[in-house]
A and B are shown apart, each in its own frame.
Chain A
Amino acid sequence: MADKRLTLDELIGELHSGMTIGIGGWGSRRKPMAAVRAILRSDLTDLTVVSYGGPDVGLLCAAGKVKRAVYGFVTLDSIPTDPHFKAARQAGAIECTELDEGMFYLGLLAASQRVPFLPTRAGLGSDVMVVNPSLRTVVSPYDDAEELVAVPALRLDAALVHVNRADAKGSGQILGPDPFFDELFLGAADRRFVTTERIVDTDRFAAEGPLQSLCISRLLTDGVIETTGGAHFTACVPDYPRDEAFQKEYAAAAGDPDAWAAFRQRFLEVDESGYQMAVGQADVERKARRAAERAGTTTGGTR
């Protein structure tokens, strides 16, 4: 049986400039951030990024990797908007396809079912139809004759998703409460890649979670990459929650070119193990700073 294990470098070798790449997760939750960071380090460019957008979209925009973003929103959840995406939009630096988030779901579903479109009411009357002039409606061939939006298939060249556990053959296990649309991202894509907190033997799955958590079948995967902490700083429950302190620093740095250069140098111009090490160090520094502040307060020191 095929062993689908890859390294992050091998994953990047499978991607090409100009590709349409779907990124799983939702907002700042269970994003394949290690894969995104690997794209940031690569010379890939001119990408169309399809995402229930979070910091994946923001980081790729900040690095100038994005030609077009396809999204219903871009949010950091606890911070309403991603400042890098915001800056790119306000500078007119990227092309955009903005869809109702339910239309987005149907676009992925249509692509994974190999039909050209799926009908819905969502979008009718809204500016989604105006800002995407290529969208068409379709009239029901039955007696009701309803006119509905024909959401075109969102076909992807490649998809990247992050799961809690996977085996070497490419089955994936999502232990958090929401599988989001990861299965459909994979189904909509020609090349399908799953990063995971841990590659385990298939016989471990049952001990890790119930059958329903085994929601990514190997029918949907071409490559599996072990990236422990690979969703950081987004949430990857139950393995870890969102790193709110780190996310705050990411967002704050966006407003200041010097701070952003320092953030990039420390966290993004290093490989994945360098990133994880820098995150650990930053956490230690943050805790020390807080302890010092507390001590300062109790002794009536600086405020």
Chain B
Amino acid sequence: MSAAPPPESGGSGDSGDSGVTRAEYCAVACAEVFRGDGEVMASAFGTAPALGARLARLTFAPDLVLTDGDAALVAGVPALGADIATLLLESHMPYRKVFDTVWSGRRNLIMMASQIDRTGNQNISAIGEWAQPTVQLVGVRGAPGNTVNHSTSYWVPNHSTRSFVEQVDVVCGVGYARAEAAGPSATRFHEIRRVVSNLGVFDFETPDHTMRVRSVHPGVTVDEVVAATGFELVVPDEVSETRQPTPEELELLRTVLDPRGLREREVRS
């Protein structure tokens, strides 16, 4: 981990380039999740996280290792939606080796969350009672193992009181309180680094590891964030805005990584 502080605040407080879309702020906020990472496998689910990992790799996290989304690691930095057959591959990464990598800790991940709660528990398994859910989702997948083995962050493109809840229905990704209750083997490699939503960026850098507003995206007020959240967020006295993309980052996002504008379909401005 590098010691470079994340320059996440816009500083001046103005919302800067008004041509920057909400989706682009989200992509940059996701890129920041990988700042300071050395040679680790970046896994990213969702459009903004996929762009964020690529952007970080092309700028401030050059040693990051990207996957082709199938069974290989790629040498270059492909655009979103690039034909998998055209990619330059550098290593074989079938699922069995993915687990070996997870357990080695050499991975940084942004997963999605259907529900996330105050202490960072995540749910992608089921809504309602697990025994007979009102809505069956995909299943716990690798979330339990990911969260106790390497840094995990979450991407929630639809921030609302239905996704940010007091307590998730099924604990898939393990949050701080649950990890602490499970003991030192669960906390040893546990880190929920960030939650990025379409409204802002959140972390758990509070004394009791409950969710804190780290920044709001330009154009979003703290009141809006609080109203869209189903639990009491820690709100610092001064809440900064999510930082502006640099001109280079905007150029990379718009012309190299996502020329078709897929990001704008996931998050509307």
Q: Which candidate, B4-12, B52-60, B180-188, B235-243, is the interface stretch facing chain A?
A: B180-188
Ordered nearest first, which 6 A-B pairs have the shortest CB separation?
Answer: A122-B145, A73-B139, A125-B182, A126-B144, A92-B132, A177-B71
A100 touches B140 (CB 8 A): yes
Kindly provide the distance from the CB of B224 to the nearest chain A CB, expressed in whole angstroms. Answer: 28
Expressed in whole angstroms, the Cα–Cα distance for A146 and B179 within the complex equals 14
Number of cross-chain contacts by CB at 8 Å: 140
B95 and A180 form a contact (CB under 8 A)? yes
**Is A71 a contact of B182 with CB atoms below 8 Å?**
no
Q: Answer whether residue A247 sits at the interface, using C-beta atoms and an 8 A cutoff.
A: no
CB atoms of A73 and B138 under 8 A apart: yes
Find chain A residues with CB under 8 A from B182 CB: 124-125
**Shortest CB–CB separation between residue B167 and chain A, in angstroms?**
11
Judge whether B96 and A73 touch: CB under 8 Å.
no
CA distance A169 to B15 in the complex (A): 69
Query: In the complex where A26-B95, A98-B125 touch, is A124 in contact with B134 (Cβ < 8 A)?
Result: no
Determine which of B96, B132, B138 lies in contact with A74 in the assembled complex, contact meaning CB atoms within 8 Å.
Answer: B138
Establish whether residues B140 and A121, one from each chain, have CB atoms under 8 Å apart when the complex forms: no
For residue B199, CB closer than 8 A to chain A, the reply is: no
Nearest CB in chain A to that of B179: its residue: A125
Question: Measured between C-beta atoms, what is the minimum distance from B10 to chain A in Å?
Answer: 35
Known: A102-B102, A178-B94. A123 touches B144 (CB 8 A): yes
Measured as residues with beta carbon below 8 angstroms from the partner, the interface class of chain B is: 35 or more
Instruction: List 18 extra interface pairs beyond A71-B139, A121-B186, CB under 8 A.
Output: A26-B95, A81-B137, A85-B136, A86-B135, A92-B132, A98-B125, A105-B99, A120-B145, A121-B103, A122-B145, A124-B174, A125-B171, A125-B179, A126-B144, A127-B170, A127-B172, A146-B184, A181-B96
What does the 1/0 interface line of A82-93 toward B look like (CB < 8 Å)?
000110011110
Which of these, B96, B130, B186, contacts A127 with CB under 8 Å? B130
A101 at the interface (CB under 8 A from B): yes
Residues of A within 8 A of B27 (CB): none
Min CB gap A164→B, angstroms: 15
Whether B140 and A102, one on each chain, are in contact in the complex, defined by CB atoms closer than 8 angstroms, is no
Would B70 and A121 count as touching, CB distance under 8 A? no
The yes or no answer to B260 lying at the interface (CB within 8 A) is: no
Which B residues are CB-close (under 8 A) to A124? 144, 148, 174, 179, 182-183, 185-186
Find residues 122-150 in chain B having any chain A CB closer than 8 Å to their own CB: 125-126, 130-145, 147-149
A91-B134 Cα distance, complex, nearest whole Å: 9
Q: Is B209 an interface residue (CB 8 A)?
A: no
Q: Which residues of B contact A85 (CB under 8 A)?
A: 136
A90-B132, A98-B125 given as contacts; is B149 within 8 A of A72 (CB)? Answer: no
Q: Count A-side interface residues using an 8 Å CB cutoff.
A: 41
Query: Which of A26, A71, A72, A99 counts the most chain B CB atoms within 10 A?
Result: A72
> Taking A98-B140, A124-B182 as contacts, is the C-beta distance between A179 and B94 under 8 angstroms?
yes
- Cα–Cα, bound, A236→B135 (Å): 30
Residues of the B chain whose Cβ atoms lie less than 8 Å from the Cβ of A99: 140
- Across the interface, do B126 and A102 meet the contact criterion of CB distance under 8 Å? no
Query: Is B72 engaged at the interface, CB distance under 8 Å to the other chain?
Result: yes
Partner of B172, one of A26, A86, A121, A126: A126
A257 touches B (CB below 8 Å): no
Q: Do B95 and A181 touch (CB < 8 A)?
A: yes
Q: A92–B138 Cα gap in the complex (Å)?
A: 16
**A300 proximal to B (CB < 8 A):** no
Q: Is A62 located at the chain interface by the 8 A CB criterion?
A: no
Q: Is the CB of A80 within 8 A of B144?
A: no
Contacts of A81 in B (CB 8 A): 136-138
Within 8 A of A (CB), among B82-134: 92, 94-96, 99, 102-103, 125-126, 130-134
